[in-house]
Amino acid sequence: MTSLNFETIFQSKIDDETKIEPKDWMPDAYRKTLIRQISQHAHSEIVGMLPEGNWITRAPSLRRKLILLAKVQDEAGHGLYLYSAAETLGADRDDLVQQLLTGKAKYSSIFNYPTLNWADIGAIGWLVDGAAIMNQVMLTRTSYGPYARAMVRICKEESFHQRQGYEIMIAMAKGSPEQKAMAQDSLNRWWWPSLMMFGPSDSESTHSDQALKWKIKRKSNDELRQQFVDVTVPQAEYLGLTVPDPALHWNEARDHYDFGEINWDEFWSVVKGNGPCNRQRLQARVKAYEDGAWVRDAAIAYAEKKEQRKLAPEAAVKAA
Amino acid sequence: MKNTWPLWEVFIRSKSGLSHKHVGSLHASDAEMAVENARDLYTRRNEGVSIWVVESKHITASDPDDSDPLFEPAKDKIYRHPTFYSVPDEVTHM
């Protein structure tokens, strides 16, 4: 069969909503796009632990601390589900990690913003996880089987993340005037970066058309962003907080909220590495990787020793 | 040479009475660590009562290119299904 035939069969499977599985034939570009997207997604989960980890020792109560620990542990888990999914495409885990540590691979820019007050932990759960959920719910229907399955697990767990964040926001927004001010300050700082999480607008997005045709993505960046604004604005109203966008208003004719223009200069600047915390985040990852090297090596050495003892128990004892 | 932990496939029995089902994979230095990591990674919310792990390299999978010769022969044997047979309306419990 010619590769053209393979491609026709591949596309017709996608059109029929048949999932693509690891050993199925797929175009090289499909494989590459998925490895890039899934590994970036995995890196985002891993780096995403850092801004929240900052508050584990400072959580205002034991209850909040337990919840935050569980949430950060979930983020590690999500990263691992995703790395595993990328490996089913033939990617090597170490290569992927190296790409993150050397700055070659991107991760979600949102994690390059600092967490300055406790309300930020609420805003991250509510807005950042809320925006991630919009994207991830769509991805439960992505065309690549292992990615879709990882997303189903992740979405089940993310919904706890969003609710715990909103609960923090309720506590702060309905609390003392100082607490409410912190909640408002946090919304002011996280609103726009959250909208940026959906990526460049459709007219600027380089990967969108092909990704839609292959059903890697099922909705465009702008569609998802609109959906997020529509569900989130009423949630802000319930909190009695003001969304920091003077252009925001309900458009009866469109049946959607209209909202202001994103600061794309800021968006690209953070993507290119000049956000408030880009260097700090990467340094933290590199340090964790290097400090953990001896543990990884020791575990291998121990596994080898055990294996040798199993194969030749007496020889191993004599050698020792 | 890269000194990396091998890849393991993880299977979880979600409750007694059901079989183990593949849930994903992970890296671990040995089988014992693979079980421990599987517990932390795949059963954080009571998803399982039992875990199997097997090193990925030990799994032999059928080739998707062979699906036709492998699975095609079963497709025309519709007489293997009960719905192939007609049972008179008067006859019950069958």
**Hey, which residues does B52 pair with through a beta bridge?**
B11
Share of chain A above pLDDT 70, in %: 96
CB–CB contact A94 B4 (8 Å): yes
Residues of chain A neighbouring B27 (CB-CB closer than 8 A): 93
- The two most distant CA atoms of chain B are separated, in Å, by 74
The ranges of chain B with pLDDT < 50 are 1
Residue A87: what pLDDT?
97
Reported for A134-139, long-range contacts at CB under 8 A and 24+ positions apart, including other chains, are A134/A198, A134/A224, A134/A227, A134/A228, A135/A197, A135/A198, A135/A224, A138/A217, A138/A218, A138/A219, A138/A224, A139/A217, A139/A218
CB–CB contact A23 B64 (8 Å): yes
CB–CB contact B4 A149 (8 Å): no
- What SS3 string covers A152-180? HHHHHHHHHHHHHHHHHHHHHHCCCHHHH
Interface test with A, best of B2, B3, B65 (most A CBs within 10 A): B3
Check whether A318 has a pLDDT greater than 70.
no
**Is the CB of residue A255 less than 8 Å away from at least one CB of chain B?**
no
Average pLDDT, chain A: 94
For residue A300, the distance in angstroms to the closest alpha carbon of chain B comes to 5
CB–CB contact B63 A23 (8 Å): yes
Check whether A1 has a pLDDT greater than 60.
no
Rounded to whole angstroms, the Cα distance separating A166 from A160 reads 10
Q: Which DSSP symbol is given to A112? A: G
Rounded to whole angstroms, the Cα distance separating A39 from A53 reads 21
Residue B1: what pLDDT?
42
Residue B75: what pLDDT?
84
Q: Which residue of B has its CA nearest to A76?
A: B41
Rounded to whole angstroms, the Cα distance separating A79 from A99 reads 15
Closest by CA to A259, choosing from A173, A198, A172, is A198
- From chain A residues 12-51, the ones with a CB under 8 A of any chain B CB are 21, 23-25
Nearest to B29 among A73, A81, A300 (CB): A300
- From chain B residues 11-70, the ones with a CB under 8 A of any chain A CB are 24-27, 29-30, 33, 40-41, 44-45, 61, 63-65
Write the pLDDT tens digit of every residue in A128-173: 999 999 999 999 999 999 999 999 999 999 989 999 999 999 999 9
CB–CB contact A84 B24 (8 Å): yes
Residue A174: what pLDDT?
96
Residues of chain A neighbouring B33 (CB-CB closer than 8 A): 299, 303
Residue B59: what pLDDT?
95
Rounded to whole angstroms, the Cα distance separating B4 from B47 reads 28
Q: Which DSSP symbol is given to B24? A: E
